[in-house]
C-alpha cells in the first residue's frame, strides 16, 4: 500500500482561517505548508488581488464555485432551475473567464434546490444545462464539477448521491464534466465509504475530493469516519488529484486552523 504522505491536500479558504480577512488567508495557508487552495466564491473579491495573493504565496487555486445565484435569497445554484437559464449561462461564462485569469482548472457548478413535485423537470433542465456548460468548459480548457450534497445540511438540493451524479456525467459524455466527491456528504447520505471509493475512483469520473469529520464537520481526526483508513485507501487506489479540506475547525479564534492541523502533519511523516 502506498504511503498516505503522497496525497495532496488543498486548504479551503472559505472554511479555514476564518479569523482572518479572506485575502489574508492565502498567506496563512502557505505558512502552514499548503501548496493548493480552494474556495467558494472568489468573484466576491477583486480578481487582481486574489491573483496576486496566489502568486505571492506560491499557491495554486485548484477549485472554486461558479456564482450560485442570490445566496442571501435562498439560491443554492442555478443549473436545475426554471426561468433562470440566462443567469445560469452568465454564471458559467463569468466563472470560465475568472478561472482563466486565476489559472484554476476546476469549477464547481451547483445544481440548485428542487421541489418534490418538480423532480423530473428539474433533472431534465439540469442535464441540458450541464451539457451546454460542458461544451463551454471544453472550449475554455476547464473542467466542471458536480457535487452530491447531503439533505441534512441542504434540504431540497437536487443532487444527493453518487450513482445519479456518475450516471449524469456518463450520459453527457464530456471529459470536461466530472464528479466532486465530498466524503462528508457521501458518508451522511450513503455510508460504506470504502466501497464507494473502490467503485467510483477507478472510473476516472471523480475529479476532486473533499473531507471533513462526520457528524460535526470538524477536522478529519474524530467522529465516525476513521480517516487514517480512508487516506490509506486513497493511496492504495492511486488517487492523484487534490483533496480539499472543507471543514470547520473546532478551535475558533486566532490560530485555530493551524492548531488543528496535527492530523495533516502526522501524514507528512507517515
Active site residues: 147, 246
d(CA 162, CA 236): 21
C-alpha cell at 196: 464507494
Phi, psi at 35, each rounded to 5°: -105, -20
- Quick check: bond before 215 cis, omega within 30? yes
Instruction: Give the closest residue to 37 by CA, choosing from 65, 8, 7, 59.
Output: 59
Instruction: Give the closest residue to 166 by CA, choosing from 128, 202, 122, 136.
Output: 202
First to last CA, the chain: 12
Between strands 206-211 and 60-65, the pairing is: unpaired
d(CA 231, CA 227): 6
Amino acid at each position: 500500500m502506498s504511503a498516505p504522505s503522497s496525497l495532496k491536500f488543498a486548504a479551503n479558504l472559505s472554511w479555514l482561517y476564518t479569523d482572518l480577512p479572506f485575502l489574508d488567508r492565502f498567506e496563512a495557508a502557505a505558512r502552514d505548508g499548503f501548496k493548493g487552495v480552494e474556495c467558494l466564491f472568489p468573484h466576491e473579491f477583486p480578481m487582481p488581488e486574489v491573483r496576486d495573493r496566489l502568486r505571492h504565496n506560491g499557491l495554486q487555486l485548484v477549485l472554486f464555485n461558479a456564482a450560485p445565484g442570490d445566496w442571501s435569497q435562498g439560491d443554492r445554484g442555478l443549473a436545475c432551475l426554471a426561468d433562470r437559464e440566462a443567469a445560469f449561462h452568465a454564471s458559467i461564462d463569468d466563472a470560465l473567464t475568472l478561472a482563466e485569469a486565476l489559472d484554476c482548472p476546476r469549477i464547481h457548478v451547483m445544481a440548485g434546490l428542487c421541489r418534490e413535485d418538480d423532480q423530473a423537470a428539474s433533472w431534465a433542465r439540469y442535464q441540458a444545462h450541464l451539457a451546454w456548460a460542458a461544451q463551454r468548459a471544453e472550449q475554455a480548457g476547464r473542467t466542471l464539477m458536480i457535487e452530491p450534497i447531503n439533505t441534512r445540511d441542504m434540504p431540497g438540493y437536487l443532487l444527493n448521491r453518487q450513482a445519479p451524479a456518475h450516471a449524469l456525467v456518463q450520459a453527457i459524455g464530456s471529459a470536461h464534466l466530472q464528479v466532486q466527491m465530498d466524503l462528508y456528504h457521501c458518508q451522511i447520505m450513503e455510508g460504506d465509504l470504502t466501497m464507494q471509493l473502490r467503485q467510483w475512483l477507478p472510473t476516472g469520473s471523480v475529479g476532486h475530493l473533499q473531507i471533513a469529520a462526520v457528524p460535526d464537520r470538524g477536522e478529519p481526526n474524530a467522529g465516525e469516519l476513521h480517516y487514517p483508513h480512508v487516506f490509506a485507501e486513497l493511496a492504495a487506489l492511486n488517487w492523484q488529484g487534490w483533496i480539499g479540506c472543507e471543514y470547520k475547525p473546532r478551535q475558533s479564534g486566532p490560530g485555530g486552523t493551524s492548531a488543528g492541523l496535527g492530523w495533516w502533519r502526522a501524514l507528512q511523516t507517515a
